[in-house]
Amino acid sequence: MAYATVNGTALHYEDLGAGRPLVFLHGWGTSGRVWDAQAADLMADHRVITLDWRGCGRSERPADGYTLAQLTCDVLAFIDALGLDRPVLIGSSIAGAFTIEAALAAPDRIGAIVPVDAGVHHFSAFQDAMAKLLTDLRADRAGTLADFVPHWYRPGASAAMIDWTVRQLLESTFRIDGLVVDQAGYDPRDRVAGLRVPTHFLHGELDTEVPLSVPRELASLIPGARLTVIDGAGHMAQQDQADRFTAALRAALADLH
């Protein structure tokens, strides 16, 4: 297993294939394993790197650092640790914000970004709902996640896949809940017009966690940004419509220079 020590924390990653480097970032509480289907396909002609961010998967679980700013800092330090030359950052859900913040902070070090089903500013309008989620997680973490996670997937998605996602969340540190608080106050819309890194949003047609209006608005604010909708996919588009998602990602990568 490969680890990189970043900002004092050992982060686990998988590094497969050769070619243009792609760094895949998972969403809240899961792991790099959510990208297995894409890694198996894209490693044939790309360098595919899947990262477990702090507190998740097989990475270390430090006591602090569960903020958008720190995780963005981790991503940039990880890129430097591996000596990657302008990689494409692909970030699911909250990690879509990591890709945007990394591109704003270090545009010369990022080749392109692909936010996937990214909430970005969406949750800033739901402060009460985010506060309730935190209360419920503290009262009954397993039960709350068992009720919450199925909504991330399209109707009819595999029960086994949903259960596996819940297990990943339960294995992650509860400190990731700090990101719920942080995202509730996050809104980069007044800054993204200054984003100069090629950007292509991918979003599930059936995503009930983040409506399509969110990436549409962001794409309209970012110079040259594009949006592809994945037919029949929910919030975890890369898993519940893996083949369609991978095809759309390949098309996006061909378009991103």
CB 33 within 8 A of CB 59: no
Measuring CA to CA, how many Å separate 217 from each of 185, 221, 225, 238, 248?
A: 18, 7, 11, 22, 20
CB 234 within 8 A of CB 153: yes
**CA 196/CA 184 separation, integer angstroms:** 26
Q: What is the DSSP letter of 19?
A: S
Helix (H) or strand (E) holding 11: strand 9-17
The pLDDT of residue 124 is 79
Pairing relationship of beta strands 20-25 and 2-6 according to DSSP bridges = unpaired
The pLDDT of residue 257 is 72
CB environment 54-82: b (16+ within 10 A), e (fewer) = bbbbbbbebeebbebebbbbbbbbbbeeb
Give per-10-residue mean pLDDT for the chain (257 aa). Answer: 95 98 98 98 98 98 96 98 97 97 97 95 83 94 97 95 98 95 91 96 97 95 97 97 98 91
The pLDDT of residue 247 is 98
* Amino acid letter, 119: G
The pLDDT of residue 54 is 98
**CA 89/CA 96 separation, integer angstroms:** 9
Domains identified in the chain and CATH numbers: 2-255 (3.40.50.1820)
Tokens of 117: 């089903």
- Residues paired with residue 227 on neighbouring β-strands, in sequence order: 201
* Amino acid letter, 95: A
